[in-house]
Structure 1
Amino acid sequence: MEDKELFNRYIHGFPYQVSDINFTNLFMWRHLYELRYEVINGLLCISGYYYGEPFILPPLTLKPYNPEILSHTLTILKNRFKIFSHPLKIKFLPVHMLNEFQDLKHHKISFNSDRDNFDYIYATKDLSTLQGRKYHSKKNHLNFFMRNTVYEYVPLTASLVDQCMDLTRKLKLGEYPPLEKDLLENEEQAIYEALIHMKQLDYIGAAILINDRVEAFTLGEKTTNDTMLIHIEKANAEIRGLYQAINYLFCQEECGGVKCINREEDMGFENLRKAKESYHPAKFLEKYDVIVE
């Protein structure tokens, strides 16, 4: 946290756009990925483990990339990765950065599309109105909730943290495949980290109270002038229309003037993919794995 300003200078030094290159995300998920960082040749290099395999994020720059500096930095990192008996892997490289890597000298580089980690990008006007036949089912659930539920939409405050965590723990109960269960355990810690540091992080939080209890909450952050990134969205699935309501109300109340909403990736989980596709993304922000040899 003490290096937040350093991170943000690099994060905003180039239009990375992907949800992974964001201080709040890096901070709240740092334990899962065992993140480390170092400045090499003026580039901020962030490393970690993804399902047990070492990786780095694209080295972050404060200005347009210098191919010589980037190539030399990758050589240093490639030599360090030899101790892992793994080639140097870069994860979450956005598609618009492929050109920065394709023509680097002294390296053999391969690119693999990472569909499980594509960011889902939606038009704000779609999510804040739910107009049109494709949103008919969503609008029906939302209208049912609005007509039949006494609720309060409120800003997220420190006094609601315990209730948010109670809801998070309740939602992870049940039978899940081992990988998804592990992710839910790590997500609980990530949400806690984000909530207890809400004054130091740059997101906007909101909750829906029913009978004075948090039954839904969300965290979103404006990453550019026209994009809102949704970090977390949780709702009691037993209450019909509640998921639609927290999504809709947050877009209505907090996303004025924002053209796009980034709802992050589905990580290859079928239920999450189905849910995100059901809101009809306007586009995907493609990401690549890069192997440097």
Structure 2
Amino acid sequence: MHEWFEEHNHPFLMKGVTPAAVERIKALCEDCYDFTPDRDNYEYVYLTQSLINLSGKKFRQKKNNLNHFRNQYIGNWEYVPITEDIFDECLEAEKTWYNQHEDGDDDNELLGERHAIETVFNNWSVLQPTGGAIRMYNKIVAFSIGEMLNDDTAIIHFEKSDPTIRGLYQAINHEFVVHAWGHTTYINREEDMGIPGLRHSKESYNPDHFVEKYDVTLRQK
């Protein structure tokens, strides 16, 4: 591996290295590498039951927003699993979300995510993820996509909702966990990529712990 970096005239760098992998690398040569925490790529892990129950003061605002949505739109919304017959509607909802958020500092990340979402829908039968959506007034306005990561943890890859509808984000978050992941212990909602708004959103759901990630570089001698 070192030879490849030297051949291409790049400094040695490994990203996304987990604590377990760090220990294995240290066992090979503890004094050869430096390990730098990469906070932007820490994965947020939540207790499933905490996301379902939203109990206590730390979830009060989330529960208030969720209850507002339920009361304001009673009888005018429904949760539906994502199946092939609503793929186009979900992609239209994603397009609307993207148009509301483009022209920001993180345009490249948003465009990359958009392409990734389209790839998932175009290869749904091969990838076999699990998805859920909220329909309001006969229109898909929010959706979420995830899969089982291991025996006790589900991972949420994508989640989009119309930001103009108060409580909708809390609703799709809650409904998807209730309907798809109630049997799990943990929900992994991936990293925030250093995007301030995304970090605030993920922190506001009170993670149980993080999956830490490290950058690994050669120690200068």
1:101 aligns with 2:20: no
**Post-superposition offset of 1:78:** 1.1
Query: Could you say which residue in structure 1 is the equivalent of 2:4?
Result: 80
CA contact (8 A) 2:102 2:110 kept: no
Partner residue in 2 for 1:164: 90
- Counterpart of 1:124 in structure 2 is 48
Aligned to 1:20: none
Contact 2:46 2:207 in 1 (8 A): yes
Counterpart of 2:66 (choices 117, 142, 166) is 142
| Aligned match for 2:128, one of 202, 211, 223 | 202
TM-score where L is the length of structure 2 = 0.93
- Whose helix fraction is larger, Structure 1's or Structure 2's? 2
Equivalent in the alignment of 1:264: 190
CA RMSD of aligned residues (A): 1.6
Q: Do residues 91 (structure 1) and 19 (structure 2) align?
A: no
Equivalent pair of 1:206/1:219 in contact (CA under 8 Å) = yes
SS in 1 for 2:44: strand
- Indicate the percent of aligned positions where both proteins have the same amino acid: 38
Residue 163 (structure 1) shift? 1.6
- Give, in whole Å, the separation in 2 of the partners of 1:234 and 1:175: 14
Distance 1:165 1:175, change over 3 A: closer
Q: Residue type matched to 1:183 in 2?
A: E
Is contact 1:107–1:292 with CA below 8 Å preserved after alignment? no
More deviation in 151-160 or 227-236?
Answer: 151-160
Deviation at 1:177, TM superposition (A): 3.5
SS at structure 2 position matched to 1:265: coil
Equivalent residue number for residue 255 of structure 1: 181
Q: Deviations over 1:141-175 (max 9, x none)?
A: 10111112111111101222222122212112245
Give the equivalent residue in structure 2 for 1:15.
none
Mapped partners of 1:196, 1:152: distance in 2: 25
Which residue in the other structure is 1:214 paired with?
Answer: 140
1:242 and 2:140 matched: no
Q: Secondary structure at the match of 2:124?
A: coil
Q: Deviations over 1:97-148 (max 9, x none)?
A: 2110013149821111000000001010110111111111110110111112
Residues 46-61 of structure 1 aligned to structure 2 (within 5 Å): none
Q: Which runs of 5+ in 1 are unaligned?
A: 1-76
Is the 1:78–1:87 contact (alpha carbons within 8 Å) kept by the matching residues of 2?
no
Contact 1:78 1:292 in 2 (8 A): no
SS in 1 for 2:28: coil
Structure 2: 5+ residue stretches without partners: none
User: Offset of 1:292 from its aligned partner?
Assistant: 3.9
Matched residue count: 216
Q: Residue by residue, what CA displacement relative to the aligned partner does 1:184-203 show, whole Å, maximum 9, x if unpaired?
A: 11111100001111111132
Pair 207,108 (structure 1): closer, same or farther in 2 beyond 3 Å: same
1:131 aligned partner, one-letter code: S
Distance 1:176 1:268, change over 3 A: farther
Q: Counterparts of 2:194 and 2:55 in 1: how far apart (Å)?
A: 28
What is the CA deviation profile of residues 236-291 of structure 1, one whole-angstrom value per residue up to 9, with x for unaligned ones?
Answer: 11111110000101111111221110000000000000000010111111100111
